[in-house]
Structure 1
Amino acid sequence: MLIISKAGKEDIEQMCLLLQELFDLEKDFTPDWEKQKKGLELILDNPQYGSLLLLKRDQEVLGMANLLITISTAMGCKVILLEDFIIKKEERRKGLGSYFMEAIKDLARKEGYGRITLLADKDNRPAREFYRSQGFQMSNMDCWRYIL
């Protein structure tokens, strides 16, 4: 049976493994266990920043999502930045991603969020097709960064 639950500190190791898979797919990021662990702990210790959700079958973690909370002045409401979304490689193409994403969208609606924004690597065609199939639309905005 599939369940979606909030992650806890006991899930950090499993989430770090998933983030390694994710960052191996993205050109902008490099897996770094200690940085990913620190970031996950910051979110878990500060729930006002957002939440970490897990997709599980029994006790096995199949996927994770990092939902960060921000405020949109354009929309005049809270919005979600879907910072990380990953399904284990061996579990992809089985409908789990769609199931998980629908649950995230339902949660966002119920909690009064106005939008979910995400970034996808330009070269990750499967991810881009997946997000399009889930009703996400390309924005006219480009992502810009200044690294400190």
Structure 2
Amino acid sequence: MSEPYIRPARSADEEELALLDRAAWSTLHAVSPRPEPPYPPFFGERHPPGEFLVAELDGRIAGYVRIMQPIPLASHAHVLAIQGFAVAQEARGRGIGRALIRAAVAEARARGARRLTLRVLGHNTPARKLYESEGFAVEGVLPGEFLLDGAYVDDVCMGRAV
């Protein structure tokens, strides 16, 4: 089994990332409606390629993580956030998610951040366990923040020092 190769995203990755993102959509982690045609571009002014790291496995993109400054103020420049994370269904269980989270922590550190934060739905147990195993701690919970599939779901705020 080959190891994932993590690299910065390139503009040429857009179509493959868009397909992966749509295929990975689930109410386990998504709060917006299922994407429908016409699909918006994956990259754009608000989501440039420079915010993404991608995982390649056997020459194909198998996942991505998006790291950005959530509040664009100088006083908040020391905090980065994971705001987008997906692993292709066929690549799950092969360490891709863990490699992407570790790469996100290293990237945040390289960009001079002191903290890395994220939000995860309360019912997303696999993701929460992964984040906790990589040093993220629950820093707050917004109870019943989203109504998904007829049930109210907590929004869990997590963070860690980098």
Give the TM-score of the pair, scaled to structure 2: 0.71
- Looking at structure 1, the residues matched to 76 and 61 of structure 2 have their Cα atoms a distance apart, in angstroms, of 35
- Looking at structure 1, the residues matched to 82 and 58 of structure 2 have their Cα atoms a distance apart, in angstroms, of 25
The one-letter amino acid paired with 1:4 is I
Question: Percent identity among equivalent residues?
Answer: 23
The one-letter amino acid paired with 1:26 is H
Shift of 1:135: 0.9
Shift of 1:5: 1.7
Shift of 1:41: 2.1
The one-letter amino acid paired with 1:89 is Q
Q: Which moved more, 1:136-145 or 1:59-68?
A: 136-145
Shift of 1:126: 0.9
The one-letter amino acid paired with 2:6 is I
Large movers: runs of 4+ above 3 Å: 33-39, 70-73
Match of 1:111? 111
The one-letter amino acid paired with 2:96 is L
Q: Deviations over 1:32-69 (max 9, x none)?
A: 26686435222227x5xxx1111112430011011111
- Looking at structure 2, the residues matched to 120 and 35 of structure 1 have their Cα atoms a distance apart, in angstroms, of 27
Higher percent of residues as strand: 2
Q: Is the aligned partner of 1:44 residue 2:24?
A: no
- Looking at structure 1, the residues matched to 130 and 114 of structure 2 have their Cα atoms a distance apart, in angstroms, of 21
Q: Is the aligned partner of 1:29 residue 2:32?
A: yes
Q: 1:138 to 1:71 in 2, by over 3 A?
A: same
The one-letter amino acid paired with 1:9 is S
Give the TM-score of the pair, scaled to structure 1: 0.77
Q: 1:14 to 1:39 in 2, by over 3 A?
A: closer
RMSD of the TM alignment (CA)? Answer: 2.8
1:41 is paired with a residue whose SS is: coil
Contact 2:68/2:81, CA 8 A, preserved across alignment: yes
Q: Is the aligned partner of 1:140 residue 2:140?
A: yes
The one-letter amino acid paired with 1:44 is P
Match of 1:82? 82
Q: Is the aligned partner of 1:128 residue 2:128?
A: yes
Q: 1:98 to 1:76 in 2, by over 3 A?
A: same
Shift of 1:23: 2.9
- Looking at structure 2, the residues matched to 134 and 35 of structure 1 have their Cα atoms a distance apart, in angstroms, of 37
Higher percent of residues as helix: 1
Contact 2:54/2:65, CA 8 A, preserved across alignment: yes
Q: 1:115 to 1:33 in 2, by over 3 A?
A: farther
